[in-house]
């Protein structure tokens, strides 16, 4: 059996999105900036996509900027807010310790340029509170950037409350919603969001395309200079097939949000319930405040890469935060931020499912994972020491 | 594929895996913090490594190199076993990705640590220079 359980890494393109892309390549190949009919047809297609996406987010069409994906949107949002802050003498930013590297590496760059960053603790449950955000605010705070849902463990932050305290203090609020969009309801008005990043390939759209939402009045600075596309804020002839494919994919998931959420969270609960039965295992991140499809466990006494490879040999595609899957000596910064010791963080497994998965597939996973964990523990000297009491169990 | 067929074979069907109750020498190297730990058991008869077993906590590369290293020293003299380099193990596995070479170093160190333990237990004199670079020794991390 083949089971794709790595939807947080990327998803397969939906049939509807694929058909739309082919249609665009065949019939909407014009340049939207051209004045002739073929160009204007493409311009209409582009506008249609912008409108669809704006509606899904409860935003205005003028607040939607197409980008090359989540990373670019994250970079542009953070750098723009930082630049705006700097012009007013504000050089402090609030974020969390477990953001995606598209945010963290951008913040590191700003630190080198003299910005001060407060990285809020995400605690063992992988959540921050609006009160903690408020307490970290200063006169010179230029931006709060906190991810909607975490890509490794799936916890969902209290975005609406955080947005509210930012609004109250007049501090711009950006959220990396790459993992949330298409999986849970996001409303930029109700959630008090000023900037938001999303990426199409996380909800069955194409790769290499995304959106930066910037609320009216929020200033954007260009990462890419050139033509006047995207209201002058992002140059380059628009990738109509990708953009329109993204819009179709997003509309599809937004139209079926409730039923998908219900179905997927029921499957997720089976995963959590069954994998929790493995001795000395722990679910990473809050049990309740989480995405419908993302589950992350640590298993003591084993290493994640070998677990992944053996699962792959059984046809199950998953991912891990172990050092040996990242190429560095450090395990996932997300699991370390939760306070997991290094040796436990190495033994992590992320299963990210969505509405393409079936219960049969989930049962197959819950059958295979315990077998493989057991096998690896049997050949692990660490497990032997744990069992003999020569090493203390941490979980 | 990330790994060669040989690596996958040794990873999925490791040779000589398990514990040895009556080992003459035991070497444990690596540390859980960095992600890989290898424990090697040897049985020595007339200067020959007559049996070898291993237990490994680690990635595919760590498990495959442990397995290959045990095959390469089984039936060999202690002197020959001490000549085993991680490079030779990697070559025997048809190579490893560059960022995985560090995992293979442990196999060479585990063999050395097991021999050293055998020497120490039997009060056999040896050249300390031979064992000076086992940087991954467990004790340094405890
Ligand atoms: C939370 C989060 N932010 C940003 C990104 C980057 O998105 P993209 O791959 O579209 O650049 C990802 C996906 O890898 C993500 O999960
Ligand atoms: Zn390794």
Instruction: Closest CB to A324: pick one of B17, B35, B39.
Output: B35
Share of chain A above pLDDT 90, in %: 96
**What DSSP letter does each residue of A319-386 carry, written as one string?**
B---HHHHTSSS--HHHHHTT--HHHHTTEEEEE--TT--HHHHHHHHHHHHHHHHHHHHT-HHHHHH
Domain parsing of chain B, residue ranges: 5-131
Q: Is the domain B5-131 a CATH 3.90.1010.10 member?
A: yes
CATH code of the domain occupying A3-10+257-388: 3.90.1150.10
Atom of ligand 1 nearest to the CA of A202: 13
Cα separation, A139 vs A142, whole angstroms: 9
Closest CA in chain A for residue B31: A343
- Please report how the helices B60-73 and B101-121 are oriented relative to each other, as an axis angle in degrees rounded to 10: 40
pTM, whole model, 2 decimals? 0.94
Q: Measured between CB atoms, which of A305, A313, A381 is closest to B37?
A: A381
Chunked into runs of 10 residues, chain B (142 residues) has average pLDDT values of 92 96 96 84 97 96 96 96 95 93 91 96 88 51 31
The reply to whether A266 touches chain B by the CB within 8 Å rule is no
Q: Is it the case that residue A143 has pLDDT exceeding 90? A: yes
Q: What pLDDT is attached to residue A327?
A: 57
Average pLDDT over residues A262-285: 98
Three-state DSSP class for A169?
helix
Q: pLDDT for B88-123, tens place per residue?
A: 999 999 999 988 888 889 999 999 999 999 999 999
Contact B59 A325 (CB under 8 A): yes
Domain ranges of chain A: 3-10+257-388, 15-255
Name the closest residue on chain A to residue B14, using Cα atoms.
Answer: A379
Q: What is the ipTM of this complex?
A: 0.90
pLDDT in tens, A328-376: 667 899 999 999 998 899 999 999 999 999 999 999 999 999 999 999 9
- Contact partners, residue A15, CB within 8 Å, separation at least 6: none
In this predicted structure, what is the pLDDT of residue B131?
A: 81
User: Catalytic one among B64, B78, B90, B103?
Assistant: B103
Nearest to residue B7, comparing CAs of A327, A331, A346, A309? A309
Facing residue for B33 by CB, picked from A327, A342, A380: A342
Ligand with smallest separation from the Cα of A71: 1
Tens of pLDDT, residues A156-212: 999 999 999 999 999 999 999 999 999 999 999 999 999 999 999 999 999 999 999
Q: What are the φ and ψ backbone dihedral angles of B3, each rounded to 5 degrees?
A: -115, 155
In ligand 1, the atom with minimum distance to the C-alpha of A8 is 16
CA separation for the pair A326, A89 (Å, rounded): 38
Distance from CA of B94 to the nearest CA of A (A): 18
Give pLDDT tens digits for A61-102: 999 999 999 999 999 999 999 999 999 999 999 999 999 999
Q: Which CATH architecture has domain A15-255?
A: 3-Layer(aba) Sandwich (3.40)
Please give the torsion angle defined by the CA atoms of residues B73, B75, B81 and B86, in that order, rounded to the nearest 10 degrees. -10
User: d(Cα A188, Cα A56) in Å, to the nearest integer?
Assistant: 10
Q: Which residues of A touch B59 (CB under 8 A)?
A: 303, 305-306, 322, 324-325
Q: Is A216 exposed, middle or buried (0-12, 13-18, 19+ CB in 10 A)?
A: exposed
pLDDT confidence of residue B45: 97
């Amino acid at each position: 059996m083949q089971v794709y359980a790595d939807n947080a890494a990327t998803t397969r393109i939906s049939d509807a999105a694929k058909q739309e892309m082919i249609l665009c390549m065949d019939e909407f190949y014009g340049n939207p900036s051209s004045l002739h009919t073929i160009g204007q047809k493409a311009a209409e297609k582009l506008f249609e996509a912008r409108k669809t996406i704006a509606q899904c987010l409860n935003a205005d069409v003028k607040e939607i900027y197409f980008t090359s994906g989540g990373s670019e949107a994250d970079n542009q949002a953070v750098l723009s807010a930082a630049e705006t802050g700097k012009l007013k003498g504000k050089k402090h930013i609030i974020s969390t310790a477990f953001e995606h590297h598209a945010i963290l590496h951008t913040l590191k760059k700003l630190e080198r340029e003299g910005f001060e960053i407060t990285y809020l603790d995400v605690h063992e449950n992988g959540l921050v509170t609006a009160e903690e955000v408020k307490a970290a605010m200063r006169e010179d705070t230029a931006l709060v950037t906190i991810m909607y849902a975490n890509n490794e463990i799936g916890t969902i932050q209290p975005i609406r409350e955080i947005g509210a305290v930012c609004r109250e203090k007049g501090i711009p609020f950006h959220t990396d919603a790459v993992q949330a969009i298409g999986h849970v309801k996001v409303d930029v008005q109700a959630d008090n969001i000023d900037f938001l990043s999303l990426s199409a390939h996380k909800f069955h759209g194409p790769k290499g395309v995304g959106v930066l939402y910037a609320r009216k009045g929020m200033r954007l600075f260009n990462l890419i200079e050139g033509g006047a596309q995207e209201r002058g804020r992002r140059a380059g002839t628009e990738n109509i097939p990708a953009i329109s494919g993204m819009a179709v994919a997003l509309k599809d998931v937004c139209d079926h949000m409730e039923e998908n959420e219900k179905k997927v969270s029921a499957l997720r609960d089976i995963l959590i319930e069954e994998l929790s039965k493995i001795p000395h295992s722990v679910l990473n991140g809050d049990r309740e405040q989480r995405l419908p499809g993302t589950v992350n466990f640590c298993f003591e006494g084993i290493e994640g890469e070998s677990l992944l490879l053996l699962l792959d040999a059984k046809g199950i595609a998953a991912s891990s935060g172990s050092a040996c899957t990242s190429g560095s000596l450090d395990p996932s910064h997300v699991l370390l931020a939760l306070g997991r010791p290094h040796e436990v963080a190495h033994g992590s497994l992320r299963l990210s499912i969505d509405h393409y998965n079936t219960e049969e597939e989930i049962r197959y996973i819950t059958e295979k994972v315990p077998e493989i964990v057991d096998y690896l523990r049997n050949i692990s000297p660490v497990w032997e020491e744990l069992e003999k009491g020569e090493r203390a169990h941490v979980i | 594929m990330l790994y060669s067929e040989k690596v996958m074979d040794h990873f999925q069907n490791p040779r000589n895996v398990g514990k040895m109750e009556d080992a003459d020498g035991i070497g444990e190297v690596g540390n859980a913090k960095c992600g890989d730990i290898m424990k090697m058991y040897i049985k020595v008869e007339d200067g020959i490594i007559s049996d070898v077993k291993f237990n490994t906590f680690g990635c595919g590369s760590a498990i495959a190199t442990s397995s290959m290293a045990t095959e390469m020293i089984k039936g060999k003299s202690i002197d020959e076993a001490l000549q085993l380099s991680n490079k030779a193990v990697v070559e025997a596995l048809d190579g490893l990705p560059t960022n995985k070479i560090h995992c293979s170093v442990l196999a060479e160190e585990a063999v050395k640590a097991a021999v050293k333990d055998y020497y120490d237990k039997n009060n056999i004199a040896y050249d300390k220079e031979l064992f000076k670079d086992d940087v991954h020794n467990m004790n340094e991390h405890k």
